[in-house]
Structure 1
Amino acid sequence: MSQSLNLPYVALAVCIALSIYRFLVYPLFLSPLSRIPSAHPLAKFTSLWILYIRYRNLENSTIHKAHQKWGPVIQLGPNELSVNCVKDGILTVYSGGFEKGDWYNLFANYEGVRNMFSMPLSKQHSSRKRMLSNIYSKSHLQSSPTMSSISSNLIFDRFLPELNSKGDTPFNIYALFSAIAMDFVCAYLFGLESGSNLTQDEEFRTWFLDLYDSRRSYNFWPQELPRLTSALASIGINLTPKWVNDANKEIEEWTLSMVDKSAAVLEKTQAQKAEALNEADIGNFPTVYSQLLSASAKAAGKDGPSDHNRERLEIASELLDHLAAGFDTTGITLTYLIHELSQRPDLQSSLRQELLTLSPQITQSNNPHLPLPKSLDTLPLLNAIIEETLRLRAAIPGPQPRITPPGGCTLGPQGEYPNIPSGIRISALAHSLHRNANVFTNPEQWLPERYLTSSDEQLKEMRRWFWAFGSGGRMCVGSKLALLEIKYVVAALYTNFRTVVVDDGGIEQMDIYTAPPRGGKLIVRLERVED
């Protein structure tokens, strides 16, 4: 009888012992991660602390401080690591083809229709990327008649007239940069006729940017705890407001309208290649839409009859991701570039002198002729200013999570941490990589001169650590388009004007994945530069 009475106590003791082993002894002493420094005392045992940091939008700065204190590999949770090194760091994880996890579900559109960015498996991603990589290549963009027509139209017919209309009246240049960036990317996706016109339509611009930005603060639950979020939603408990979903649907419908307009343009022209169009219509050719439609049709032909509506949504989901990422990041980059340059009148003057060497110069009198993209690449100061802005003010400074593969991996610049098991969430962030003081002297200062005065060896090392567009097979497919439009916009602006900051309250970046100014504005005044 006494033995039977002792059984519950024995069971309780066993449970306690197993719990101590599972949640204390194993993570502290026996786990393959036990030797890795913890970003927080609780990181070995629970993810609650890092979830709390993410909920409060303090992730980038918190992880960066932890790397500064504890080194290039740190533990964020029982099954999560962060790396801040190139060798056995980003080269292993991102060039090694580690797969994506549930974190990227948020970037699917139209109720779960995947796009290239949100595809979890590298094989799926590679298949989609092969459809698009050529038209986003630097060689194609620089030789494309459509891109040439788009750039000329947007600079001379939209952007410069909008600047001229401001006179000496202060205005929010962040909103204007977001607008011209959207018009650039949409024109390349859908054609000028079918794409956006946020630059000239200020009312629609205000509506769209307010709608888009209003959702930023509501990503935590579906992104970090997607299963919990879905489970609660299934019983009527929504962790994000209904209007966030409504806003997403409005943006999706707007994108679908441009998809359908592009389809009508293609049907009208009866052509699949831009070169077949006459000069007057060349800018209306929907380059990316046409390429994706053609490649999707070929892929569907191999697999049997296609579902037209499903194909339409897959194309729309892909192009929505391109336009959202393209306009948001470019608008942020241009805003910080102008903010920094506005504090350096001497550098503005030097940049203008460099821009005046272009032939033709980007002035309204030279409409509609722009200098060739290749000539912009030869301007050292312009390129240094852009590169330094992308370093210090990366538009996407936040972590890019991956999952360690079967067989695990080794991490650390000296291979210090072998036998990292599979299934571990691991990420790097540009915010930290770009602030390595051993690579970037005075890393918190905006110093374009570092790219003009450094030795070839120093430049090589800085560019090894440069991560504004990611790296590996999933590196940003639109990086060359972004750089091209940034160069034309900056060249057009500073060939004709000086910029003076009137109000930069809230200019600090938000501490989130894609990081705009916290105040959502940069108020400047333009001063026309006379020859």
Structure 2
Amino acid sequence: MLQELGSTLFQFVSVHATEAHLIVVGLIIAYYLVIYPFILSPLRDVPGPYLHRISRFSALNNQRTMTWVRKVDDLHKKYGNVVLLSPIEVSVNGEYKYLHDLYTKNLPKSKFYENFRNHGFKDNIFASLENDRHIKYKKIVSNIYSKSSIFSKSNTARLNIVEKITNLVKAVYKSSVDATEPDYINARSERNIHGKGYKNSDWFNKSGREKNLGIDVYSLFGSLACDVVSGFELGIENGTDLISRPEERHILVSHREVASMVFWTTLMPRFWDWVAGKRILKAMETITRWQLNLYYNAETNSPKVIEGQNLTTLQTLNKAGLKGEYAYSFLTDNIFAGHETTAIFLTYLCYEISRPINSFMQVKLKEELKSTFGTPPNRQTIIDDFETVDTLPYLNALINEVGRVHTPIPGAEPRLVDKPYLVTAGNGKNITIPKGTIISSQPFSMHRLENVFPDPNRFIPERWLKYEDESESQFNQRIMKQSKFSMPFGKGIRMCLGMNIALIEMKLAVANLYWKLSSQIDNDWCDITQYDSESANKVIANVIETGFDFVGNNQTDEEKMVMYDSYTTRPYNDECWLRWIDDSDSDSDLHT
């Protein structure tokens, strides 16, 4: 019978060759477009758009055009907690179980992270995929990054942070309050092609002020963070000094230019050089040369360590046998990520409390600082009490809310399913996700769950404080729930290595600035958005959006501070201009 069937098919193909080819092509198309995605695929029951079932193209293109974070969030709103992103990838949202299973239980990382290797594709703690390798790396350095080590008075980390915060306050006085050294470099924006000064060089200080000038706090806080993290990694004497040397801050722009290539870096690395163009390639060359100079200098001038004191990160890696480019890859990742995420945190915090609609937040912060530390005796006095600053309720509320709304890394954190994993779709159906599937949650969506964070798009620090009609038990339960769904530094053993440094650095920076100073948005830089009392109560009143669609005419502060829709975010214009005033200067017109 089979012989007869084969003979019949052969005769048909011989006589009707064209028709046979069309039938074969049709069957192949039917298989890939219908049969496999809807019948054979193990992900056939996962809800999602049709195009996501048959190809990765839609997901890749959305990431390339920087529309993916919002797209995934919209898909969850439409389809529920489990959504198909591509034939091999699923996104989960809405339940703490997913955060716990993916990140706390520590599923292996996907190859997405592998491309964060540096210096000849050398491995590092962030790029390591296998859990056992990551654990081995973490054992080497975890002690020096612990909170107790950072806070210890016997280690240099504390001195490093205080020294850099002192430089920060001095820089704000020079560039803004006294205006003896205006921020002309960033105002001209010769390197930042998104900055206002790139096409309009005469915008700066149109108001003709003699003091309290605007300064670009995004660049300033990037300098602070780079100085802190490089001093920690290499030793105080070997770190950068970008705060005191603004002419060297061009390196921050080079980092942003390279960071803009995150899609090509992580998902299409083979095309990176082709897509980058001369400007990005030059930035990459500049960064690499800058990094190697730092590392060579630190190796030549290795800090002396007294007994009982921690080594620097470079010394710690070298002691463990990781030397040369193998150590440099760790350092580069830490410095790259450490300065940029902290800069975003601080920039959005200071911007949010400088907006007219949020001015009461700045008042509450200043009241907390002065009730705790008294009135500043002079400009030179610096708050260096790590332990007290670390526990200030309203300051912590601001930090928590910035981490929720303006998460520096809002994009998905992909993991690999290492054994069949059960999820529940929006229709209540249980679905088994097979081994090898990419699975992720994105902080942007988890941080905007209405049932966890009411009015989720609004910046409301008070949600982290006890409400008047709330019992202590109710408050603790609510905060515990909010904290479970918050992941600005990640979750589980893979969470941000430098979190303890970043948090106390940010808290000390904010505390020292607002203990003495007040800030306002620079109205020479933008039109400042005002709300009347009626509109201020609306849910949308103080929302800063994500995605280029919200930039509009790029004239108002809200348009200029739109966040990039990308794995890592930042302000749309790569700048944020604020004016600062000494609270003791009653004559300043910024008080009016």
Band the TM-score falls in, shorter-chain normalisation: 0.7 to 0.9
Q: Give per-residue Cα distances to partners, 1:247-289, cap 9 Å, x unaligned.
A: 22321222222222222333x73x4x5756xxxxxxxx86222
Q: How does 1:42-61 map to 2 (within 5 A)?
A: 42-61=51-70
Report the Cα offset of residue 19 of structure 1.
4.2
Q: 1:153 to 1:363 in 2, by over 3 A?
A: farther
State the secondary structure of the residue aligned to 1:92.
helix
Q: 1:69 to 1:413 in 2, by over 3 A?
A: closer
CA distance in 1, matches of 2:149, 2:425: 37
Partner of 2:438: 425
Partner of 1:265: 301
Partner of 1:32: 42
Q: Contact 1:109 / 1:252 at 8 angstroms: preserved in 2? A: no
State the secondary structure of the residue aligned to 1:350.
helix
Q: Does 1:154 align with 2:190?
A: no
Q: Does 1:191 align with 2:235?
A: yes
Q: Contact 1:173 / 1:522 at 8 angstroms: preserved in 2? A: yes
- Tell me the TM-score normalised to structure 1 length: 0.87
Q: Does 1:473 align with 2:493?
A: yes
Pairwise CA RMSD of aligned residues?
A: 2.4
Q: Contact 1:181 / 1:327 at 8 angstroms: preserved in 2? A: yes
CA distance in 1, matches of 2:105, 2:29: 36
Unaligned runs of 5+ in 2: 1-6, 178-211, 468-474, 527-556, 586-592
From 276, 291, 295, the equivalent of 1:255 is 291
CA distance in 2, matches of 1:416, 1:461: 25
Partner of 1:111: 120
Q: Contact 2:52 / 2:87 at 8 angstroms: preserved in 1? A: yes
Letter matched to residue 401 of structure 1: P
Q: Does 1:292 align with 2:317?
A: yes
Q: How does 1:368-517 map to 2 (within 5 A)?
A: 370-405=383-418, 407-412=419-424, 416-453=429-466, 455-502=475-522, 503=526, 504=557, 505-517=559-571
Partner of 1:280: none
Q: Contact 1:146 / 1:274 at 8 angstroms: preserved in 2? A: no
Letter matched to residue 356 of structure 1: K
Unaligned runs of 5+ in 1: 277-284, 298-310
State the secondary structure of the residue aligned to 1:240.
helix
Q: 1:112 to 1:122 in 2, by over 3 A?
A: same
Q: Contact 1:190 / 1:286 at 8 angstroms: preserved in 2? A: no
Partner of 1:97: 106
Q: How does 1:158-177 map to 2 (within 5 A)?
A: 158-165=167-174, 166-167=176-177, 168-177=212-221
Q: Contact 1:410 / 1:419 at 8 angstroms: preserved in 2? A: yes
Report the Cα offset of residue 138 of structure 1.
1.0
Bigger radius of gyration among the two: 2
Report the Cα offset of residue 181 of structure 1.
1.1
From 340, 345, 352, the equivalent of 2:359 is 345
Q: 1:423 to 1:23 in 2, by over 3 A?
A: farther
Letter matched to residue 354 of structure 2: S
Report the Cα offset of residue 140 of structure 1.
1.2
State the secondary structure of the residue aligned to 1:473.
helix
State the secondary structure of the residue aligned to 2:288.
helix
CA distance in 2, matches of 1:86, 1:259: 44
Q: Does 1:355 align with 2:364?
A: no
From 231, 241, 244, the equivalent of 2:277 is 241
From 234, 255, 275, the equivalent of 1:212 is 255
Percent identity among equivalent residues? Answer: 28
Letter matched to residue 60 of structure 1: V
Report the Cα offset of residue 361 of structure 1.
7.3
Residue-pair matches, total: 495
Q: Contact 1:160 / 1:364 at 8 angstroms: preserved in 2? A: no
CA distance in 2, matches of 1:252, 1:385: 35
Report the Cα offset of residue 416 of structure 1.
4.5
Report the Cα offset of residue 170 of structure 1.
1.2
Q: Contact 1:510 / 1:518 at 8 angstroms: preserved in 2? A: yes
Partner of 1:317: 329
Q: 1:357 to 1:366 in 2, by over 3 A?
A: farther
